[in-house]
Amino acid sequence: MDGPPPPRVPTLADVAARAGVSTATVSRCLNAPDRVQKDTRDRILEAVKHLGYSPNFGARALAAKRTDTIGAIIPTMDNSIFARGLQAFQTALVDHGMTLLLASSSYRRDLEETQIRTLVARGADGLLLIGHDRDPALYDFLARHTVPVLVSWVFDPTQPRPSVGFDNRQAMAEMTHRVLAQGHRRLATISGYTSDNDRTRDRVAGVRDAMAEVPDCAPLNVVETRYGIETGARAFAQILAKTPETTAVICGNDLLALGAMRQARTMGLRVPQDISITGFDDMEIAVIADPPLTTVRVPHGDMGRQAASMLTEMVRSGTTPDTVALPCEIMERGSLGPAPRS
């Protein structure tokens, strides 16, 4: 006696046989239901359900030349900087009938490049990338493969690619204005690494923009480091070692700011009485810092949702949308105060 019959995964042909129609009709019924008569449609759907049929992905991709899959490459998932936007992006993609292929580059240009190629090879219909900064050859590659690209986390209308994001430079300038308005004139900045990273560069540029409008500012002390609490703490110590007269430290990221605040406390400095500290991102923890962190609120959710619909539209229609700017908001909380009268 034989074992049970091999539980083969049902195919279109099985459904067609059971419904007494051709495979073409079944395919139509599944992809354009109204191009098939009601009663045959019912028969087909019954068969589909009965057999537990689900289309073969490879076959569909091969025949239809699309995968309904969107690739995204973000610098890191180690903290929630990108995770929140990604969450919104993924959820919205699902609503559009798309699936997310995800990779992270660890902020490394070479890794990002191989991952872009991998995702394209894996059949991504479109790509979401963070920032514009990358080898032009890569954009050529994507164009040759006719893979639409949407850039996020930035707003730079001078770039040739569509993007959905916020103006890092202007947001940081606005924050710096607030700092200057409090009377601070000896500023320092803790920035993420600026090589291959237009967001961090723009943020530092924003600080300088605002400072340029005020005549009596001391030169800006800029320290670059990796994003993180520990690194922020070290950078803060470094700043106070070099320019102890600093009264405000503008951080390119909330983690850096939290690290800076911890280090300030360690060094016996009161925030904001002795020194002011600001962040960027408005992570959930900004409000529980002590004092609560004054920071720039980034529109993570909107960005993710908009990116999903724009990219889906690009893939489905082949069009190129206009670049979209989303507003940031300065969240004034407790960590920014008046400059101490030295």
User: Judged by CB under 7 A, which of 49, 50, 63, 114 binds DNA?
Assistant: 63
Q: Is 40 in the site for DNA (CB under 7 A)?
A: yes
CB of 235 to a second copy, least distance (A): 15
Output 56 or 159, the one with its CB closest to DNA. 56
Q: Is 293 in the site for DNA (CB under 7 A)?
A: no
Q: Is 53 in the site for DNA (CB under 7 A)?
A: yes
Three-class DSSP labels, the chain: CCCCCCCCCCCHHHHHHHHCCCHHHHHHHHHCHHHCCHHHHHHHHHHHHHHCCCCCHHHHHHHHCCCCEEEEEECCCCCHHHHHHHHHHHHHHHHCCCEEEEEECCCCHHHHHHHHHHHHHCCCCEEEEECCCCCHHHHHHHHHCCCCEEEECCCCCCCCCCEEECCHHHHHHHHHHHHHHCCCCCEEEEEECCCCCHHHHHHHHHHHHHHHCCCCCCCCEEEEECCCHHHHHHHHHHHHHHCCCCCEEEECCHHHHHHHHHHHHHCCCCCCCCCEEECCECCHHHHHCCCCCEEEECCHHHHHHHHHHHHHHHHHHCCCCCCEECCCEEECCCCCCCCCCC
Residues 98 and 308 sit within 8 Å (Cβ to Cβ): yes
CB of 32 to DNA, least distance (A): 8
Q: Is 118 in the site for DNA (CB under 7 A)?
A: no
Options 54-62, 72-80, 257-265, 330-338: segment touching DNA (CB under 7 A): 54-62
Output 36 or 101, the one with its CB closest to a second copy. 101
Residues of this chain that interact with a second copy (CB under 8 A) are: 7, 9, 52, 54-63, 65, 67-69, 76-80, 83-84, 86-87, 90-91, 94, 99-104, 106, 115, 117-123, 141, 144-145, 228-229, 255, 258-259, 261-262, 284-285, 287-290
Output 17 or 220, the one with its CB closest to DNA. 17
- Picked from a second copy, DNA, none, the partner binding residue 21 (CB below 5 to 8 A depending on kind) is DNA
How far is Cα 27 from Cα 30, in angstroms, rounded to an integer?
A: 5
Q: Is 25 in the site for DNA (CB under 7 A)?
A: yes
- Picked from a second copy, DNA, none, the partner binding residue 27 (CB below 5 to 8 A depending on kind) is DNA
Q: Is 13 in the site for DNA (CB under 7 A)?
A: yes
Output 221 or 263, the one with its CB closest to a second copy. 263
CB of 300 to DNA, least distance (A): 35
Contacting residues toward DNA, per CB under 7 A:
9, 11-13, 20-25, 27-28, 30-31, 35-37, 39-41, 53, 55-56, 58-60, 62-64
